[in-house]
Amino acid sequence: MKNIQIIDKSFGQKVGECAILVDLENGQTDQSFMDSAWKRAVAEGWVDENYRENYDMEIVGDMPLDHKSETL
């Protein structure tokens, strides 16, 4: 699993963090992780879907499978 943080550029605040399951067999790229994290952030209501450019996303590491996502 990859741990991805979503950060509001205006305030520099983390608005969410989620885990994305890695599919090694299909050769996922960092961009596909970011796209999955963005979809999750929209579904959770953490971000405004129409303003993706207002947010930064970064992979902050691998997580064990039993880790829970968090929101602030």
Q: How confident is the model over 45-69, as pLDDT tens digits?
A: 999 999 999 999 988 877 555 555 5
In a domain, 29, yes or no: yes
| DSSP-derived 3-state class of residue 56 | strand
Question: Who wins on pLDDT, 36 or 68?
Answer: 36
**Residue 43 belongs to what H/E stretch?**
helix 30-44
In a domain, 14, yes or no: yes
In a domain, 72, yes or no: no
In a domain, 71, yes or no: no
pLDDT band at 11 (very low <50, low <70, confident <90, very high): very high
pLDDT band at 20 (very low <50, low <70, confident <90, very high): confident
Cβ burial of 41 (10 Å; 0-12, 13-18, 19+) is: buried
Domain coverage including residue 44: 2-66
Q: How many domains does the chain have?
A: 1
In a domain, 36, yes or no: yes
In a domain, 6, yes or no: yes
